[in-house]
Amino acid sequence: MNPTDGKDTTIDSSASDGGRITDLAWISALYEFGHKAANGADSQLVLQEILEHIVRGFDAESGSIALILDGTTDQLELAAGTDLPPGLIRSMLPRGTGVFGHVVETGQPVLVNGNAAETGLPLRGSKERQRTTHSAMCWPLRVAGRTIGALAVNRAETRPRYTRGDLDHGQAVTGLLALVMANHRMHVERENRILELSTLNATMQRINAMLEDAQNQVIQSEKLASIGQMAAGVAHEINNPLAFALSNLGSLSSHLSRLFELLDAYVAGDDALQPKAAELSHARKLRDETDIAFLKQDSAEIVSESREGLLRVKRIVQDLRDFSRGAGEELRQRVDLHAALDSTLNIVRNELKYKADIVRHYGTLPEVECVPSRLNQVFLNLLVNAGQSIDGNGTITITTGVDEHEAWVSIADTGCGIPAENMNRIFDPFFTTKPVGQGTGLGLSVSHSIVRKHGGRMDVQSEVGRGSRFTVRLPLAIDTSSAMFAEEPDRRAA
């Protein structure tokens, strides 16, 4: 069946007042509405304005626009109308019936003159309205081959009926209208997309920041792990030559003492020798040219300075090796942190006593499960650092306490503080601001790694010129999944 066939519709090609639709001013006005719609004005309003403009243009009594709902193929919604009772706008039209339904389904315009029922169109149950139709036109609104709805105009009985020519003119105009509406829809969609994109963007930025954070942590721990591995491999190579060089220095020093002792004895013996034996003249000449006292003192210094250098190498290798170890392999026990702090203080008290007063604010702490020797090393590092940061006289305050899940020990100094640009690097291996020979740059990174292997964490607050506060936090109950098993990959790698 082809209901749009000319024979099925009553076409009156006689009287028509189509003059106005060719009016350029009218087309230009329509274009303006379209422009408004494309720029995102309220779609309902624009649609209504466009409809009224078209109704005027076609010298019609009334008109209406129905649009296919998004996501359906044939569900029509009344989008605009000129003489409709309020509340009918946005109401659904029955599917597949009525002029709208027919036009949308076929995609072909329809001209109705006279009794609509006689057109053979599949009309609605209530035929009241159609029966009184004097003359009407209905066009599909099509964009890019897709029907998005339909537009209809009705002419009053006082006016001549529409003609086939009017229908064709209208087709061109509704093409434009469809485009305008599509533009508007696209505009709305674009707005929505932009909104979506910006929220997506914000989410991505957040995720990105998290990823960056995680990546930094991975890089940091990989750096530590690779240094630990390298250290374990290199330790053997360095320790062997270190061993014999150190031991040889000891032997050399012992030999030198003997030699000088012997020399002293000879010199003393020679002075007592009367008369001076001529055979010793060469020896006496050499002795007069030589500053024996200087040689004696300087060779002792050479030995002790070389020894100090080698011991420093030994300490660096030891520190490096601590990376690969940490708390994983040693026996944990329940430890009174105050006792640990006090015993560490005893060791460093001599170093600190001329620089800082030590103030202890001990809270009430339960025993904490840890490797005491390792933790003492952390406290030692923090206390020595605190002492070194103080120029002249200052105070080191040790405060302890307990939160819900953690015991904490904070060591605060009134020293020089840490500049903001160094904050990110203080736990990096080999990062040091101390003069050459005073720090290996490993103290804090080893401490950090020890605390981490205890399942704890360490944080720092610092203000340049005011001082720094390092806080070590240790879990009250060891979370074996994080603290112990986290070591597994490390150990396998090593």
Partner 1 sequence: MASLLIVDDEPNVLSAMRRLCQNASILPAIPEPTITTFTSPLQALVWLERANVDVVISDYRMPEMDGASFLARVRERQPDTARIIMSACSDIDGIVRAVNHAGIFRFVSKPWSDPDLKAAILEVLAHRRLLLENRLLADEVRSQRDVIVRQKLELERLERESPGLTKVRWTEDGGVLLED
Q: Judged by CB under 8 A, does residue 72 bind partner 1?
A: no
- Taking the CA atoms of 277, 282, 283 and 286 in sequence, report the sign of the dihedral they define: positive
Q: Judged by CB under 8 A, does residue 304 bind partner 1?
A: no
Strand, helix or coil for residue 457:
strand
Q: Where are the alpha helices (DSSP H) in 273-356?
A: 281-289, 292-325, 337-352
Report how far residue 152's alpha carbon sits from residue 138's, in angstroms, rounded to the nearest whole number.
4
Helices (H) and strands (E) in the chain, counts: 13, 12
Q: Judged by CB under 8 A, does residue 106 bind partner 1?
A: no
Return the residue of 27, 84, 246, 345 that touches partner 1, per CB under 8 A: 246
Query: 437: how many CB neighbours lie within 10 A of its CB?
Result: 9
Q: Judged by CB under 8 A, does residue 225 bind partner 1?
A: no
Q: Judged by CB under 8 A, does residue 306 bind partner 1?
A: no
Return the residue of 310, 337, 348, 378 that touches partner 1, per CB under 8 A: 310
Return the residue of 240, 304, 373, 482 that touches partner 1, per CB under 8 A: 240
In angstroms, give the least distance from the CB of 480 to partner 1: 20
In angstroms, give the least distance from the CB of 493 to partner 1: 14
Q: Judged by CB under 8 A, does residue 241 bind partner 1?
A: yes
Q: Name every residue whose Cβ is closer than 8 Å to that of residue 124 and which is 6 or more positions away in sequence.
A: 94, 97, 98, 130
Q: Which is nearer to partner 1, 198 or 254 (CB)?
A: 254
Closest CA to 315 of 377, 372, 373: 377
Return the residue of 27, 176, 232, 460 that touches partner 1, per CB under 8 A: 232
Question: Which amino acid does the sequence have at 318?
Answer: Q
Q: Which is nearer to partner 1, 35 or 258 (CB)?
A: 258
Q: Judged by CB under 8 A, does residue 489 bind partner 1?
A: no
Q: Judged by CB under 8 A, does residue 395 bind partner 1?
A: no
Closest CA to 166 of 25, 54, 3: 54
DSSP per-residue letters across 87-112: T-TTPBPPTT-HHHHHHHHH---EEE
Query: 312: how many CB neighbours lie within 10 A of its CB?
Result: 12
Fill in the per-residue mask, 250 to 279: x = in contact with partner 1 (CB under 8 A), - = not in contact.
xx--xx-xx---------------------
Q: Which is nearer to partner 1, 159 or 314 (CB)?
A: 314
Closest CA to 345 of 315, 374, 387: 387
Q: Judged by CB under 8 A, does residue 393 bind partner 1?
A: no
Q: Which is nearer to partner 1, 27 or 313 (CB)?
A: 313
Calculate the CA 389 to chain-centre distance: 34
Q: How many residues bind partner 1 (CB under 8 A)?
A: 26
Residue 197 tokens read as 């994109």
Fill in the per-residue mask, 179 to 218: x = in contact with partner 1 (CB under 8 A), - = not in contact.
----------------------------------------
Q: Judged by CB under 8 A, does residue 7 bind partner 1?
A: no
In angstroms, give the least distance from the CB of 280 to partner 1: 28
Report how far residue 337's alpha carbon sits from residue 408's, in angstroms, rounded to the nearest whole number.
9
Q: Which is nearer to partner 1, 183 or 257 (CB)?
A: 257
Which chain residues interact with partner 1 by CB under 8 A? Answer: 232, 235-248, 250-251, 254-255, 257-258, 310, 314, 321, 325, 329
